[in-house]
């Protein structure tokens, strides 16, 4: 497991509902996670976009309008 995947694993294992999952399930999630970084003011999704993924904010904030 790569360093970034380990960071994802450590992060999700501390937050519900993931903190209730067995470690093997957490590892599977971490391996398939894709980490992205966005600058302030960047549109991540726009109204009408089809949402196919789960997004988690590790640091910073997201404004929804």
Residues 37-65: tens digit of each pLDDT: 999 999 999 999 999 999 999 999 999 88
Asked whether 26 and 13 are in contact (CB, 8 A), the reply is: yes
**Cα distance between the two ends of the chain:** 37
pTM higher than 0.85 for the full model? no
Read off the pLDDT band of 21 (50, 70, 90): very high
**What pLDDT is stored for residue 1 in this prediction?**
84
Q: Does pLDDT of 11 surpass 90?
A: yes
**C-alpha dihedral, 45 to 47 to 52 to 56, nearest 10°:** 40
């Amino acid at each position: 497991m790569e360093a970034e995947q380990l960071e994802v694993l450590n992060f999700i294992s501390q937050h519900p509902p993931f903190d209730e999952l067995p470690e093997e399930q957490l590892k599977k999630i971490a391996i398939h996670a894709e980490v992205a970084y966005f600058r302030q003011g960047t549109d991540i999704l726009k109204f009408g976009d089809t949402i196919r993924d789960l997004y988690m904010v590790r640091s910073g904030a997201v404004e929804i309008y």
